[in-house]
Every structure is written in C-alpha cells, then in structure tokens.
Amino acid sequence: MTFRQRRDKLRSILAGSSCIRPGSVYDAISIRIAQDLGFEIGMFGGSVASLAVLGDPDITLITLTELAEQMRRMSRAAALPVLVDADHGYGNALNVRRTVAELEVAGAAGLTIEDTLLPQAFGEAKTQLIPLAEGVGKMKAALDGRGDPSLVIMGRTGAASVSSLGDAIERARAYEATGVDALFFTGIKSRAELEAISATTRLPIVLGGAPEELSDPGLLAQLRVRIALQGHAPIAAATQAVHATLKALRDGTAPKQLQGLASSELTGRVTREAEMKARSADFLGLKR
C-alpha cells in the first residue's frame, strides 16, 4: 500500500459515519501485530515515542529526527495507516512546517499539531497554552508544509482541561478556519462538553481520552467523533512482560521454563519469515 493509499484510508475514516479505536503502535513489531489483528489505523503517541526511543517520560525530550526515523521504520514494516502525535511541532510555526515535511516523507498518514506550550516553561508546573494567534500560525504553517495534499493535518487543543470549554471551542473554530482536516481534543470531561464542541464545529473530531460516559462508540459517532483513543496499553504490557522475563532469568528460572513467551509460529508471522524465505529462494538460490 502506497503512502497515498494509507492517507486516503485515514481520510475515508474521517469522512465516514462510525467511530473507530486505533491500535497504539511504537515500533516495527507492534505495527505489524496491529495490522494483522485488523486495526484500521495505528496511533503513534508522543509518550510512547519517548518511551520506545529514549526510555524517558513524556516531557518532550525526543527530537523531530528521532520521531521521524521511528515512523520511517514502522512505515517500512507495515502498510497500516498511522496517525502521529507531532506535539507542538518541535518549535515555532517554521519548525512546524519542517515537522510536517519530515513526517510526510517518513510515511505518516496524518499528524496532530497542538497548542500546548512545550517544552515546559521555567518555574511553571502547570500545563500552559500558546496564544491563539500563535496556534493559528502553526496550523497555517502545517498546511503549507505538506507536499502531498492527502496527508491529514489535525489541529489539537487541550484547552478544555487547561483553560475552559469556551476557550477550547474558540481555538477549535479558529483552527477549523485555517483549513485543517480534523480537530483533536484532549481533556474533555463530560458528554455535555463534547456535545457543545460538536454543535459549534464542523470538522471530524478525534478524542484523546474521555470519561466513562463517553465510552460508547455509537454515541461518539453521533457526536461526529471518528477516532477515539484508548490509551497506550501495548507498550505498558510489553514493559511488564520484559521485566517479568528478565527477572525470572535473573532469579534462576531456566529459559525452557519461562512463561508467556511468543510462540515460534507467532514470531515467524510478525517477522514475515515465510516471505523472507521465499525471497531467499528466488534471489539467493536457497531451498524453500
């Protein structure tokens, strides 16, 4: 599947009438598993990018180069369309433009640009937002930076939990006016807030987490939510599994007695072993 086809797939989801749950992906193996299991799209979050690449918490230490390179590895490994959390675009509006260009050639199907002030300001523990005008400038730069018009650009705001619902709506409408393809919200605390957002905006909505009363995909679809995240459990599960396995080995458990390991069949599937053997036969003259 070409990059354009992956982006068209994401666009078809946004243009549809259903709400889907993406698979959280962070490396070549996780994206292949998500694809094999039938997820329509993958979500490459900033937090999991920081964990997978740096082993650091989500405090914006990862660089654009590192993020794009990890996306490039996943694009090579599988054809699953991926939505990338591009944080604040790694600087001002001109940096945002560069961020879009780099993630486009890395194979992202879409990306989000948010209006959070990042990195964290000196002496300020609470989350802060950039001014609305600066956010609008970033959205315009993001749109100007894409070479492939099928690449999805989403304007993202966490204003609902940082400042107010009214501010979130004002920002969303301003970003909508720039021509972005969808609106991404975090910090929505109730159905009433989502209903207010849906009533005052026009674009497809993506939710980055929501309370229990907003867990029904049918309800979300009615409120124009097309993608609803479920967090990033896979990397947490992988961390626990690696920790448990290494601890067991360190405590003296024999390798053959370890529990919860991937079977050779599953490992062969996710590493595309059969395809590699076929290529080895065709190109190296090896027996199948």
Residue keyed to tokens 């370890």: 258
> pLDDT-based confidence at 288, cuts 50/70/90?
confident
Q: What angle do CA 115, 164, 119 make, to 5 degrees?
A: 30
Mean pLDDT for the stretch of residues 259-279: 95
pTM of the model: 0.96
Q: What is the pLDDT of residue 89?
A: 98
Mean pLDDT for the stretch of residues 27-34: 98
For 139-158, what is each residue's pLDDT tens digit? Answer: 999 999 999 999 999 999 99
Residues near 75 by Cβ (< 8 Å), separated by ≥ 6?
3, 82, 106, 107, 108
Domain ranges of the chain: 3-237, 260-288
What is the C-alpha separation between 135 and 114, in angstroms, rounded? 8
What is the C-alpha separation between 119 and 92, in angstroms, rounded? 12
Which comes out higher in pLDDT, residue 180 or 287?
A: 180
Pick the CATH number of 3-237 from 3.90.180.10, 3.40.190.10, 3.30.1360.70, 3.20.20.60: 3.20.20.60
For 236-266, what is each residue's pLDDT tens digit? Answer: 999 999 999 999 999 999 999 999 999 999 9
